[in-house]
Structure 1
């Protein structure tokens, strides 16, 4: 059976979107066929596979699979892309919780929910202060941990460009301290209320942009008093604008783009 797809991206973080809200997929998405579709050599190619499904209580549900086939709870860039596709304000379900989205010119504003900062909410393997964790990996030390639907650890350094995240990222991601693995963020200040960020994404590797990473990094910087409550986060793919106050939900604003549409044969990837 031929299945339509939509290729989209947010600041270069790219997705294959399968819209099953009205037309069900021929079968169930598994780790293996998500990984096959995401393969850039033999599949369509993407950082994340996004599946939209009906919801009894909300506008629709969104499921998110990383390029390695693992399912995750949230993806900020994909949520903006889906907002662009949906075309109107909505509340949607994810396995990480409810997200409120609103299309804006060239993209969307997304309410990403209230961040979680307790050690067992990240989760970590044992109790510790998540605002200045007493751990380190080579030159990266004393990170902040934040869960925004996905777990993140954030290191503040003098110059994020000088960190070999391609080497350190997978080492930290798979450390036993993080029982569900971890997304690794390295950030540095580039001006008042302005951060530069590089992200090693759990299950996807180095990425041009990570919406949940930008949200987690902004929350970490605000909690440490490094910035105010409205922050521009510059990633290799471009800028995201993050707003957050203690006890409130995170608001993320940024662009999203539809690249092209096509079809694939379901049995080729089943």
Structure 2
């Protein structure tokens, strides 16, 4: 099975063209391909381009645990670069259909930089979703294990829980991220960002991604965290989001429509051998 691999600030994806899929791309195969010991190793799989009745292209985003994501900012930037490498698009905007809605993408700087119009961010509990009465989920309290966190919830087409912090660290994200991801107040689980506001134009986040785990960078997480910072008055509309893998630029309109700009790096291309899928290894069960 042919593949290409890219990363956006260390958040890496394997891209597979639907015509190159051998048999059914089952959750078992997805988990194996993403496994960093027994497979190619990645934070997910991008399957496309697929036919769309409403957009130029359609994309499926598959998590390392075999589940499917509604939207991924880094994934969309990588998919855009992939289309550029195929010669399918040029330096003009185009549309992509995802489970989380339609986005507009624009590749520039010779394919190295991509801008994505992520859509309108909402904080409404019924849209994220978050359990309880309908409301904007802002500055609520969460008691998790031995800690009490102040949090906000947002959706960019996929769910996010933004934890407000004075300091952030990988250890914080790794420990509390999986507990918050699966907390009962989030019926569809949630992505988690631990947010520190640096000044009016900069924030720092650590990320735990739903279905993927600790992640060096995330476009949708950056968008959600920046929107929360803007909504709370911590930052203005132009925000640089700093993550372990690097930085993304987020711009927010007054209606919280978000635009994200960041780099993409091509890593390699190759073929997955049939033998990889035949071995009965623990990660392949």
- Pair in the same fold by TM > 0.5: yes
Q: Please say if 1:102 is aligned against 2:113.
A: no
Contact 1:140–1:155 (8 Å) recurs in 2: no
Corresponding position of 1:246: 254
Distance 2:176 2:71 in 1: 23
Corresponding position of 2:269: 261
Distance 2:218 2:143 in 1: 23
Corresponding position of 2:124: 118
Corresponding position of 2:281: none
Contact 2:152–2:163 (8 Å) recurs in 1: yes
- Assess, with a 3 A threshold, how the Cα gap between structure 1 residues 130 and 24 changes in structure 2: closer, same or farther: same
Distance 1:176 1:8 in 2: 34
Distance 2:61 2:272 in 1: 19
1:163-212 Cα shifts (integer Å, max 9, x gaps): 62211111111111111111111011223310011001111111100110
Deviation at 1:159, TM superposition (A): 1.2
Q: How many residues end up aligned between the 2 structures? A: 266
Q: Please say if 1:189 is aligned against 2:197.
A: yes
Corresponding position of 1:59: 56
Distance 1:78 1:161 in 2: 24
Aligned 1:73-112 pairs, distance under 5 A: 73-87=70-84, 88=90, 89-105=93-109, 106-112=112-118
Out of 231-240 and 117-126, give the one that drifted further: 117-126
- Assess, with a 3 A threshold, how the Cα gap between structure 1 residues 27 and 231 changes in structure 2: closer, same or farther: same
2:3 to 2, 5, 8: 5
TM-score w.r.t. the length of structure 2 is 0.88
Distance 1:149 1:59 in 2: 19
Distance 2:5 2:222 in 1: 22
SS at match of 1:135: strand
Deviation at 1:129, TM superposition (A): 4.0
- Assess, with a 3 A threshold, how the Cα gap between structure 1 residues 248 and 157 changes in structure 2: closer, same or farther: closer
Aligned 1:213-232 pairs, distance under 5 A: 213-232=221-240
Out of 7-16 and 257-266, give the one that drifted further: 257-266
Distance 1:169 1:193 in 2: 25
- Assess, with a 3 A threshold, how the Cα gap between structure 1 residues 139 and 162 changes in structure 2: closer, same or farther: farther
SS at match of 1:142: strand
Distance 1:104 1:156 in 2: 34
TM-score w.r.t. the length of structure 1 is 0.93
Distance 2:23 2:274 in 1: 8
Contact 2:2–2:20 (8 Å) recurs in 1: no
SS at match of 1:119: coil
Deviation at 1:268, TM superposition (A): 4.2
- Assess, with a 3 A threshold, how the Cα gap between structure 1 residues 236 and 140 changes in structure 2: closer, same or farther: farther
- After TM superposition, which residue ranges in structure 1, 4 or more long, deviate above 6 angstroms? none
Structure 2: runs of 5+ lacking an equivalent: 85-89, 279-285
Corresponding position of 1:39: 35
Give me the CA root mean square deviation: 1.7
Contact 2:71–2:99 (8 Å) recurs in 1: yes
